[in-house]
Structure 1
């Protein structure tokens, strides 16, 4: 499996890196959340821009992302616009999705961006090419808050992300049974073992999925998301506990 280096952070090797999501809504609350986050044992921060109350203003998004990047440095900033159809906080149009990310990329306001692979090949290819030209890494993702799709379906999605030149691939699903949990872990391990694989993030949501969040190093997942205050998805472990568990399993 390849590794990705961002601001001196190596993703895809060793203990999974801890990402703390910021899901506040206002400019001042987001800045405060960033300042709180950097007091915790994190490796990077994900700003969930879909919660921002000025999301449809690309300049406001880029300006705030730039501020966050300065506050968090050298920790990488991952900017994510999670759409409502994938469990996010905004039913944003494809046109606005493109416009906002283009502004972020143009102003070098992020170290990494998250692109939903099902936004359409043309849009995803365009943003990926532009991001790479500007030295910004791309996490390509898919989320299913209702179920765990088949292993065949999940591996096909990961293959599509790989073909579309993602730097990191991500799938997040909802397990309801032990078989679902085994599917997630098998897909994670199988993909990570492929000679063409990229660093992979596997997430099981809800209580049953917590084993995926903490067992990533065993099965090949490279990032785990830990909460500080409000979680961005069901089943997230508080960041201090997550660090303790990951370190214990690593050692």
Structure 2
């Protein structure tokens, strides 16, 4: 499996990297939380832009991104505008969705953006092209908060992400049984064994999915999303505890 290097961080090699989502609604709250989060053993921050009250103002978005950039120092900043049908907090019009990401990419204030693979092709391809021209990485994602799709479906979606030019593939599903957990792990292992496969983030949500969140290095998932205070998805583990477990597994 390939790796992706952002600043000094190599994603896809060694211990899974710890990312913390920020879901605060205002710039002030985001900045305060980011300062707190950066005192924890984290590798990157995800700004969940779909929770931001000033989402209709490009000026406010870029101003906030600029402040976050200063706080994070060399840590990568991932920005995610999650659609409601994939568990997000806001359903933007396609034109606004595209424009927000275009402006963030051109600003050079962000290191990665997250695009859902089920967005229209006419949205995905231009954004991927622009991002790569501007040296911004793409996490392409898919989320199912109700179930774990069959392995063939997950594999097909990862292949689609790869064909679109994603730098990192991500799927987050809701396991309902031990068999679902095995599905997630088997898909992760098979992908990790591909010599030219892009890095994969495999997430099991909910209580049962916690084993997936901590087993990344063994089974092939490269990023684990942890919580400092509020969580953005069910089953996220507190960062300090997550880091301790990942360190033990990495020994």
Task: Give the TM-score, by structure 1 length.
Answer: 0.98
Matches within 5 A, 1:40-51: 40-51=40-51
How big is the shift at 1:200? 0.3
1:57 maps to what in 2?
Answer: 57
Matches within 5 A, 1:178-193: 178-193=178-193
2:96 maps to what in 1?
Answer: 96
How big is the shift at 1:187? 0.7
2:226 maps to what in 1?
Answer: 226
Q: Is the 8 A contact 1:175 1:206 kept in 2?
A: yes
Helix, strand or coil for the counterpart of 2:140?
Answer: strand
- How many equivalent residue pairs? 251
1:113 maps to what in 2?
Answer: 113
- Residue ranges of structure 1 left out of the alignment (5+ in a row): none
Q: CA RMSD in A?
A: 0.8
Q: Is the 8 A contact 1:169 1:199 kept in 2?
A: yes
1:130 maps to what in 2?
Answer: 130
1:154 maps to what in 2?
Answer: 154
How big is the shift at 1:60? 1.5
Matches within 5 A, 1:57-76: 57-76=57-76
Name the CA distance, whole Å, in 2 between partners of 1:59 and 1:21: 22
Moved over 2 A (4+): none
Name the CA distance, whole Å, in 2 between partners of 1:243 and 1:17: 9
- Residue ranges of structure 2 left out of the alignment (5+ in a row): none
Match status 1:79 vs 2:75: no
Q: Is the 8 A contact 1:57 1:100 kept in 2?
A: no
Task: Give the TM-score, by structure 2 length.
Answer: 0.98
Q: Deviations over 1:88-109 (max 9, x none)?
A: 1101121111010011011112
Name the CA distance, whole Å, in 2 between partners of 1:113 and 1:192: 22
Name the CA distance, whole Å, in 2 between partners of 1:137 and 1:220: 20
